[in-house]
Structure 1
């Protein structure tokens, strides 16, 4: 355990930040599952809604620093590819 006051504060702060990042990444996984479920069901409006929610959440995650910019772009591209493939079928 740290003896220096500023280091104790830093430990608490990094734990808060870690939990916030976990909330974002967990929500992303959940939203992607919703998108996959909509694709399996084949409902066009549900796919569009799930895709827009997912892309929005990825943007927020990148902006907050929970995800790297390139990771966010990769996730959006993957979701878009999935949604377009479903709508084309």
Structure 2
């Protein structure tokens, strides 16, 4: 994609100077700067970060639930019955 932007003379001069000092093109510097800015302003989220609120927590309950499910169910039913 091609994008045209207007720079004031001072910014254009700074960009040209930086390009000459680094040996990179002005386009390369502008793209790198834009990538860095966008990463700070709107960072990309990982799939985990996108669904984090939908996942359970590692500390959300007993870690042996699969092995002792009957015991936990019995306890829960007794507690309800006793109230």
- Pairwise same-fold verdict (TM > 0.5): no
Q: TM-score, normalised by structure 2?
A: 0.29
Higher helix share goes to which structure?
A: 1
Q: TM-score, normalised by structure 1?
A: 0.28
